[in-house]
Amino acid sequence: MSKRDYYEVLGVDKNISEKDLKKAYRRVAMKFHPDRNPGDKEAEEKFKEASEAYEILSDSQKRAAYDQYGHDGVNPQMGAGGAGFNNFSDIFGDVFGDIFGGAGGGRGRGGPQQGSDLQYTLRVDLEQAVKGTTAKIRVPTLVSCNTCGGSGAKAGSKPITCSTCGGVGQVRMQQGFFSVQQTCPTCHGQGTIIKDPCDSCHGRGRVEETKTLSVKVPAGVDTGDRIRLSGEGEAGPAGGPAGDLYVQIAVNDHEIFERDGANLYCEVPVDFVDAVLGGEIEVPTLDGRVKLKVPAETQTGKLFRLRGKGVTPVRGGAKGDLMCRVVIETPVNLNKKQKDILGEFKAATKGGKHSPKQSSWFEGMKEFFN
């Protein structure tokens, strides 16, 4: 075993809590687990190294001895730090039992296993996300072979128990005081061997298929939300139960509205004269057009709130609002008469306090240069 610092092995500092220590070990062990790196000796050594580090640091007495004396403090032959390792399967089962299915951590213990979960990205329009919809999706997946019922064996035959592991799916390796279980190299964790494979699935017990599913998208979903379809993932090996399908929502950009949580935002162009004198304009909402009263002397950037015209969050709560940002439009394509009128208007307002922002901006500029 390498004698690297145990904290360095797990990528943590000395003040880490027991809970975070377990998370760190879980992350490293999953990365280098032999089941995920078959035949990779370097990954196997790193896996063992991480397990040794966790075994020491997860025990308060051994951790204290290690912090004080280093590796000598936990070396049983040095007479300090306790009696060395406990059974490795106890460590691994405590941390990974909920993922790999039992103490020892092997992916296969013989018999059926649950299939993998799948993820599908479903793109929806903003209107569909806000109001809800039902969508049809096509998902490529692995389903149980109908010919052999998922066993992988030809009709009239059946899998036989692996003689190497005795049907357990794992073999134990002993290196001095350190004991580790690994996937059986003969049956690859299945616990059985198929002598006469099924012609349809070639012994795999599963075949590729594209399923068409109906997905009910609830009102109020947003990008990043997930919908779980239980049992619609891949069928499990050896006739095991199917995993789940997670439908990830991605909302398309809208040409008018932007969403921020429960609120919607849009820009509303306002005629120059209406902004000066005041007026009434139509603005769009997801429920249709509504009237918006624009008061006199409205400036660009002013926000008008239309209450209850936003989104009702999928997890509940009050319905959001529609925020309308005013953008004053500059007149274009003017004829001579219109230009003359604007020239007279400019002359008539010259010297008056008709442009408060412009006046304050020029005053600020003067102060800056002075």
pLDDT, tens digit, 9 for 90 and up, residues 195-227? 899 999 988 889 999 999 999 999 999 999 999
What is the token pair recorded at 318? 């009050």
- 190 and 152 Cβ atoms separated by less than 8 Å: no
* Mean pLDDT for the stretch of residues 30-46: 82
* Mean pLDDT for the stretch of residues 162-190: 79
Residue % of the chain over a pLDDT of 90? 41
84-115 pLDDT, tens digit per residue, is 333 343 444 444 443 343 333 334 444 567 88
What is the token pair recorded at 4? 């690297």
- 160 and 166 Cβ atoms separated by less than 8 Å: no
The pLDDT, as a whole number, for residue 362 is 59
Secondary structure of residue 11 in the 3-state scheme: coil
The amino acid at residue 301 is G
What domains can be seen in the chain, in order of their start residue? 6-101 (1.10.287.110), 114-155+199-253 (2.60.260.20), 258-369 (2.60.260.20)
Phi, psi dihedral angles at 250 (to 5 degrees): -130, 115
Q: Which residues contact 63 (CB under 8 A, 6 or more apart)?
A: 56, 57
User: How sure is the predictor about 360, in pLDDT bands with cuts at 50, 70 and 90?
Assistant: low
* Mean pLDDT for the stretch of residues 8-19: 88
The pLDDT, as a whole number, for residue 219 is 94
CA–CA dist 41, 44 (Å, integer): 5
β-pair type (263-270, 322-328): parallel
- In the predicted model, is pLDDT for residue 2 greater than 70? no
pTM (whole model) above 0.95:
no
- 290 and 306 Cβ atoms separated by less than 8 Å: yes
The pLDDT, as a whole number, for residue 20 is 87
Q: Which carries the bigger pLDDT value, residue 368 or residue 186?
A: 186
- In the predicted model, is pLDDT for residue 76 greater than 80? no
The pLDDT, as a whole number, for residue 328 is 92
